[in-house]
Structure 1
């Protein structure tokens, strides 16, 4: 809806649906901005049910009609489901189909960009492949209780499209001989590290030049411009990896020539993208304590808008001139990096309501501390475990009839928090038993003498 390219609906019924969906979307946006209270499941489900009801009406209106043109209704439907998906993560219902909507959008964007840039490693694809498997399982296991088989079908179709795109990328890796794949991965890593150095607040030529020796070392492995196997034959994929090496070398030259100077007419877009990337980078470091998943919506929409403003794959200035290759590659790197952060933050989201996250995070910290103590030989006396025991007991005493309550609400994620609490108690008990045995052993000689 932010762009005139998306027409308004012509059908009267669709116009009414659009009005209702805009109201729902606005309520979701207002709820997203409210940080005074945690997001309650019942508030989200009311808006979810209202959205489903409107989409059912929309499907009924369009039944039997052939329409391929996307209009503003489709955009607002997408915004509502995108927001609801992030709200489902916020309330801890990560393992239900609606939560998969936002993640499939992000994976699709990432795969499109990896295809466009032709720059990826097996590790990139492995993570997304595992995530898609998990999402597929969630969608197939979701029972259409209150909802919408059409939403599950929609998400399943999105997963299938992502898998098809993923398969094409995986085939490109298969087209590289096994012995040559580490070299390809190394070049991908170098190119990405150079892109990071190129977008630092202060450009340092030495950061770029340090890659020269690595690139020369890789180039020296070639014979007559080809990568040769142990049998003396040219390795499969040699041309592609050589082309990637050439990209690295030419990119190095261009960056050193530019010396960190970015064209003024593209500077506003560049600054916005650097700001988004830096904010997401901070969130990735403090996620457990500071992230509300719905915060990702604004980042996504900003990135989508900039990404979709391209014409034939490139940005165009006020005079209709396309951005030069250096500008295009730099902006695309920043967009891809930001989508990568969003993907990481989504898959790291815990299936626990934000109301229980403070307790959950404390238990995560306690568990890490207890594991660290155990790995470093345990404790010499039970007394050293008192701080851990007191903290665990204080958390355990928060429960009412075995549930962690917030007011009269029972937030989502009770099982995850209870399981984590039990793990901490088990670790604490193991350490206490070991300490008691140690104390008993050391006391035995004195007793006998």
Structure 2
């Protein structure tokens, strides 16, 4: 389980590092127009193929998919670090996004499939949520110092070393259940989901530049929504769909998905503010803040939610957790240029996210059979990715030169998204999650 979470953290660290390294890359390689595509190409390839990656994990095995993803990730990261021009760098990033789309759903799928006993499952999701929900913020505490202390090429080689550790750990420590049998690849579902997510994310990426009412952006977003609706309809007709209907047919699952979407949106808005703050505080304070936030997150996810979830239920933990995270975001307005001034904000944000993370991942994967865990993981990650891309689009162009900044609307928007996640999640999630897979992991409905 730790290996799965670490593999996902490597992917998140790579994405965070690239955002902060873009100015150095542009200066070194003399990029101008291509700079936009360095991140956009990666994000489009990653998001568009998450459901396909989850489907492959169900067909050929989560461990095998994770190994392929990590091996390809290492090779493409090395190619990126050695790139002499913009074309080679862009293509290395696009391919790295493809392999990252194998790593992330395979990681969550492993946790979902392997931990079926309720107590162990809650603890596993408590640890995994550190990467799945808190990773976008926590990896900044490594990405920002790396970008300040090292060249962009050396920073990429650091990512390569970490990915190699994850690859060796997966090869030597991870075991898996058999994949789906008979193995039938859902080609129509793969095409619809890939094109739908790509079109939606591309529309979000272009909307801030062209305007949300611009025909190009509007058509791209509308086409993405229509393709995803067609994908949802196609699932009921396919012999071996990426994800069967039973997996998403409950009110609790829908509520957890909505809450994860809004939480990802809120974090995407506020995380750049945290990164801007870290550029001014120094290495030792940054590492101290990392330990503080990691410890607070694990207290919320393991000491609070993993223990109390079967006693008081999901709603009683989700509401206060996300409300506390929203308070943490609002407290950013009081932060000055020292880590000590940010302690209340960091504790509230990380403790609240930890409480919510265990609940949300336990609820959204509740009752999922092992042979469908990859597809469900892909759907969960697509949901979070689209939320993040929308958050980035809403943030685009805003000033983040100081953590308190001149744009309080940014902070209020992030806190509002977390508040919406708390309210909608609390309303839709009815009761305590079983926090376990079916007693017999292969007892879910099968397809002919």
Which protein has greater RCO, CA pairs closer than 8 Å, 6+ apart? 2
TM-score (norm 2): 0.27
TM-score (norm 1): 0.27
